[in-house]
Amino acid sequence: MFSWLGTDDKRRKDPEVFQTVSEGLKKLYKTKLLPLEDYYKFHEFHSPALEDADFDNKPMVLLVGQYSTGKTTFIRYLLEQDFPGMRIGPEPTTDSFIAVMQGDVEGIIPGNALVVDPKKPFRKLNAFGNAFLNRFVCAQLPNPVLESISVIDTPGILSGEKQRISRGYDFAAVLEWFAERVDRIILLFDAHKLDISDEFSDVIKALKNHEDKMRVVLNKADQIETQQLMRVYGALMWSLGKIVNTPEVIRVYIGSFWSHPLLIPDNRKLFEAEEQDLFRDIQSLPRNAALRKLNDLIKRARLAKVHAYIISSLKKEMPSVFGKDNKKKELVNNLGEIYSRIEREHQISPGDFPNLRKMQDQLQGQDFSKFQPLKSKLLETVEDMLANDIAQLMVLVRQEESQRPMQMVKGGAFEGTLHGPFGHGYGEGAGEGIDDAEWVVARDKPMYDEIFYTLSPVDGKITGANAKREMVRSKLPNTVLGKIWKLADIDKDGMLDDEEFALANHLIKVKLEGHELPNELPSHLLPPSKRKLTE
Tell me the pLDDT tens digit for each residue of 243-263: 776 667 788 999 988 878 888
- How far is it, in rounded angstroms, from Cα 533 to Cα 100? 53
Contact 39, 372 (CB under 8 A): yes
- Mean pLDDT value across residues 410-425: 68
Contact 142, 412 (CB under 8 A): no
Q: Rounded to the nearest 5 degrees, what angle is found at the Cα of 158, between the Cα atoms of 242 and 124?
A: 90
- Counting residues of the chain whose pLDDT is more than 90, the rounded percentage is 32
List % helix, strand, coil for the chain (3-state, nearest 5): 55, 10, 35
Amino acid at 467: A
Residue 489, domain CATH? 1.10.238.10
Q: What is the pLDDT of residue 19?
A: 72
Q: What is the pLDDT of residue 8?
A: 47
Q: Which of 238, 182, 244, 233 is nearest to 211 (CA)?
A: 244
Q: What is the pLDDT of residue 171?
A: 85
Contact 510, 430 (CB under 8 A): yes
For residue 33, CA distances in Å to 185, 238, 402 come to 26, 40, 29
- How far is it, in rounded angstroms, from Cα 129 to Cα 389? 37
| Cα 242 from chain centroid (whole Å) | 21
Contact 171, 199 (CB under 8 A): yes
Q: Is residue 498 part of a domain?
A: yes
* 189: number of Cβ within 10 Å: 25
Q: What's the full length of the chain, in residues?
A: 535
Q: Is residue 408 part of a domain?
A: no
Q: Is residue 115 part of a domain?
A: no
- Mean pLDDT value across residues 186-213: 82
Q: What is the pLDDT of residue 10?
A: 43
Q: What is the pLDDT of residues 71-127, one digit of tens each?
A: 888 999 899 888 888 876 655 555 789 999 999 999 999 999 999 888 888 988 888
Q: Is residue 479 part of a domain?
A: yes
Residues 6+ apart with CB under 8 A from 306: 342, 348, 352, 353, 354
Is residue 205's pLDDT more than 50? yes
Is residue 448's pLDDT more than 60? yes
Look up the domain containing 479 and give its range.
429-525
User: Of the segments 197-201, 287-291, 411-415, 417-421, which one has the largest average pLDDT value?
Assistant: 287-291
- How far is it, in rounded angstroms, from Cα 47 to Cα 34? 12
Q: Crossing angle of helices 324-333/285-317, nearest 10°?
A: 140
- How far is it, in rounded angstroms, from Cα 317 to Cα 319? 7
Q: Is residue 67 part of a domain?
A: no
pTM (two decimals): 0.76
Average pLDDT score, the chain: 84
Q: Is residue 462 part of a domain?
A: yes
Q: What is the pLDDT of residue 5?
A: 42
Q: How confident is the model at residue 161 (pLDDT cuts 50, 70, 90)?
A: very low
Q: What is the pLDDT of residues 128-159, one digit of tens each?
A: 889 899 999 999 999 999 999 999 999 888 66
Q: Is residue 338 part of a domain?
A: no
Amino acid at 360: Q
Residues 6+ apart with CB under 8 A from 8: none
- How far is it, in rounded angstroms, from Cα 50 to Cα 47? 8
The residues that bridge with 60 in the sheet, in sequence order, are 150
Q: What is the pLDDT of residues 466-508, one digit of tens each?
A: 999 999 999 999 999 999 999 999 988 899 999 999 999 999 9
The residues that bridge with 496 in the sheet, in sequence order, are 462
Q: What is the pLDDT of residues 328-381, one digit of tens each?
A: 888 889 999 999 999 999 888 888 888 888 899 888 888 888 889 999 999 999
Q: Is residue 435 part of a domain?
A: yes
Residues 6+ apart with CB under 8 A from 123: 51, 53, 115, 116, 117
Q: How many domains does the chain have?
A: 1
